[in-house]
Structures are given as C-alpha cells and as structure tokens.
C-alpha cells in the first residue's frame, strides 16, 4: 500500500511540473475565431457615422488611388498628427512593439524583456486572446502595455464601418475579460487605415499606433528565403541614426517561432546603442493608456552584464528600409497568412482536450484501484 501511494504521489507531482497543465480558453459566447465577427447594434450606435470622412471601402486587391485624399497609411504611410503615433517624441526613446499575439511565442519575448527590465507594447488579436488568456495576463502582470489589434486581422479599409466597430469591440471585450483592462491604444492590421478608420477609432476612444521601423519579421513564417539575420542587421543600421531629433518605434511580431527568437538580439542592439526602450504609453507620456485608472511604469533597465546578451552578426541589407525619425517605413507589404494557434505548452486546443481526458482517466483508474485495496 505504501508503495502504491508513493507511486500516486510521484505521478501527481509529475503532472504539476510538466506541460500537462491545460490552458483553458476564455469562457464566454465569442464569435468564431479568425473570421470577421458579427456587428452588435449597441456597439454600432457608439459611432456617429454622419461625422465620418467619406473614404470608400477598398476591397482586397484594390490599387491605391493616384491621389491620397483620405490619408491611407497602407498606400502612402500618411499620418494625422492629432490621432496617429509612429515614433516616440523624445530623442533616445525607442518603443518596442509586438503584434499578433498572445501565443506561446509571446513568452520568449516576455522573458527577454523582463530579464532586461524593459517594457514593451503588445497589440493583441482578439481570437488569440480567447485561445491564450493566461499568456496575456502574464504580459499585463509584468507591467507591459496591451493594445487592440482587431479580432480577425482583416484589412480594415476593406470592411464596412459596422464590421470595423465589431472587430474592435469584440477584441476589447476579450481583453477586458482576460486581464481586467480596457485598452485605449489600437493598431490596424498591416497598418491599413484611412481617415474613415481613424474617425471610427477616435469616436471609440482609441489612439492609433503605427511605427517607423519595420522588421518584416512576419515573412519568416512563410517565406523560406527570409534571412533572420536581416532583423539584427536592420536594427544595427537604425541605431546609427544619431541625427534624429525624436525617438523611434519598431514593429516585430510575437506570433511566429523564428522571428520571436530574434527579439532578444534586437533588444540588446538597441540597449548597446544607449537608447531607452519603452512602451508606447510611456514614451508618449500617456497618463491614461487604459479606460481604468492604471499607470504604466517605465523601463528599469538592468545592467547588461546581468543578462544574456545577443549579438547581431547578420550582414544582409534587410527587407526593411532605414528611415529617419518622423518618417514612416515605405513598405506596403501585407501579410497573407496567420499563425496557427497553440498554447503555452505547445499543444493545439484539440490536443489539450484529448490530453486532459487521458490524464483524468488515469487519475480515476488509480483512485478506483486504491478504493479496492
């Protein structure tokens, strides 16, 4: 009997220390993942559509107009100073931003930031929040900023006003349920926004976040010719801009395995060049980054000899263009694929449910056997 209970104890201890810890999805009646969610009348009513600019809906594949009448960022990197962020205003500041999570790869980025005492901004997809709410909670608990990145990662200028509102509000609701906070910062997928999109987001209480340094790291998920060394090579070029009178903002993704592994090296290049990485909220001096009364703390940079530093050895010229502060990246590339969703343990939802069933079955068998002894 003593041996039996010892075996049971060892088995239960193993369960608590392995990847068998199953991550539950966010409870609630949410729309299907990764597809444009249904409009909700009460949310649609929050926007006075008579006050929106008359920018036309642009179906996917629509060529950019010869004249950019409605400031389409994905066509001309046009920005509006009263609503748009694309770089930190203060020289020496650097906004580290990460899109498309939360996924298990977010944890790599999170560990690297925390080890260096840095704070970043994570723009979350609603569908991913439903899949991995606990990962988003780890992000918030560590003092990083969270923003909205739509529900389905659809190009917004291709959607109706009702659809755009639904993309924002469903994601907002999921984030609120997962971490208890309502973001006031938003990033459009692929940077695809025009004055109509800006008008919608402004009425919903959001500020628009773009960037001025793009790693194009999402290409590593689908393009076998993408060289990961381009990421540190580009950062190495960008930090050499000593004539800029403002700071910078870089775009990376925490959704992809390969590119997430390079985030640590990028951080070290920025730090070695004596820049101060911050969240978007901190570098802009935003005292109200959430609807709730929450103050974001600045980075508390740790000595570099106390962390494992990466070295960027790539010599490629990179797929992103180096740009001076106050200018946006000139790319109009649009991601055509989305990452598969896996949990912190690396298991898909189906695998997690199957694994949970097996584990519960084993426990019931053991307990049943004990009852007969």
Find the domain containing 209 and state its range: 83-284
DSSP alpha helix (H) spans, 68-160: 73-76, 106-116, 126-131, 133-141
What is the number of domains present in the chain? 1
Pick the closest to residue 213 from 237, 229, 195 (CA basis): 237
CATH of the domain at 140: 3.20.20.370
Low-confidence ranges of the chain (pLDDT < 70): 1-23, 304-373
For residue 322 the two structure tokens come to: 């180096």
Q: Alpha carbon of 159 to those of 57, 152, 166, 240: distances in Å?
A: 6, 12, 10, 40
- Whether residue 90 is contained in a domain is answered as yes
Q: Are 207 and 83 in contact (CB under 8 A)?
A: yes
- Whether residue 64 is contained in a domain is answered as no
The dihedrals phi and psi of 147, each to the nearest 5 degrees, come to: -130, 175
Number of H helices, E strands in the chain: 13, 9
DSSP 147: E
The residues facing 98 across adjacent strands are 122, 252
For residue 83 the two structure tokens come to: 């609503």
- Whether residue 304 is contained in a domain is answered as no
For residue 25 the two structure tokens come to: 């999805």
Treating both helix axes as pointing N-terminal to C-terminal, what angle do 195-203 and 161-179 enclose, rounded to 10 degrees?
Answer: 40
- Whether residue 242 is contained in a domain is answered as yes
- What confidence score (pLDDT) does residue 304 get? 67
Q: Are 181 and 290 in contact (CB under 8 A)?
A: yes
- Whether residue 48 is contained in a domain is answered as no
SS3 content of the chain, % helix, strand, coil (to 5): 40, 10, 50
- What confidence score (pLDDT) does residue 334 get? 29
- What confidence score (pLDDT) does residue 258 get? 87
For residue 127 the two structure tokens come to: 């569908």
Please give the sequence-ordered ranges of beta strands (E in DSSP) within the chain, or none if there are none: 84-85, 93-101, 121-124, 145-148, 185-186, 207-209, 213-214, 248-253, 276-278
Length of the chain: 373
- What confidence score (pLDDT) does residue 175 get? 98
Q: What tens digit of pLDDT does each residue of 25-54 get?
A: 999 999 999 999 999 999 999 999 999 999
Q: What tens digit of pLDDT does each residue of 176-185 get?
A: 999 999 999 9
Residues known to be catalytic: 99, 253
How far apart, in whole angstroms, are the C-alpha atoms of residue 1 and residue 7?
A: 10
| Single pTM value for the model | 0.78
- What confidence score (pLDDT) does residue 332 get? 30
- Whether residue 61 is contained in a domain is answered as no
């Amino acid at each position: 009997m003593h041996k039996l209970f010892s075996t049971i104890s060892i088995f239960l201890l193993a369960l608590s220390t392995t990847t068998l810890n199953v991550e539950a999805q966010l409870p609630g009646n949410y729309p299907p993942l990764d597809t444009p969610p249904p409009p909700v009348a009460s949310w649609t009513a929050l926007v006075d559509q008579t006050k929106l600019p008359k920018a036309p809906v642009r179906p996917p594949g629509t060529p950019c107009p010869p004249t950019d009448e409605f400031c389409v960022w994905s066509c001309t990197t046009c920005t509006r100073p009263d609503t748009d962020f694309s770089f930190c205003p203060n020289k020496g500041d650097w906004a580290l931003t990460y899109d498309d999570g939360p996924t298990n790869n977010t944890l790599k980025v999170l560990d690297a930031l925390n080890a260096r005492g840095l704070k970043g901004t994570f723009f979350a997809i609603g569908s991913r929040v439903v899949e991995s709410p606990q990962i988003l909670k780890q992000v918030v608990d560590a003092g990083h900023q969270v923003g909205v990145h739509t529900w389905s990662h659809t190009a917004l200028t291709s959607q109706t006003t009702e659809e755009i509102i639904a993309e924002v509000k469903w994601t907002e609701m999921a984030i609120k349920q997962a971490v208890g906070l309502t973001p006031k910062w938003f990033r459009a997928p692929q940077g695809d926004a025009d004055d109509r999109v800006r008008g919608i987001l402004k009425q919903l209480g959001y500020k628009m976040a773009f960037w001025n340094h793009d790693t194009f790291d999402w290409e590593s998920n689908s393009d076998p010719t993408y060289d990961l060394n381009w990421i540190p090579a580009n950062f190495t070029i960008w930090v050499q801009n000593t004539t800029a009178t403002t700071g910078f903002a870089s775009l990376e993704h925490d959704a992809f395995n390969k590119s997430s592994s390079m985030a640590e090296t990028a951080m070290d290049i920025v730090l070695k060049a004596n820049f101060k990485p911050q969240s978007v909220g901190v570098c802009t001096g935003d005292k109200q980054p959430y609807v709730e009364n929450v103050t974001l703390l600045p980075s508390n940079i740790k000595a570099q000899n106390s962390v494992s530093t990466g070295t960027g050895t790539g010599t490629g010229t990179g797929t992103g263009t180096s740009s001076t502060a106050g200018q946006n990246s000139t790319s109009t590339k649009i991601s055509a694929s989305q990452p598969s969703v896996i949990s912190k343990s690396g298991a898909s939802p189906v695998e997690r449910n199957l694994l949970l069933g097996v584990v519960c079955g084993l426990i019931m068998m053991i307990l049943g056997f004990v009852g007969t002894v």
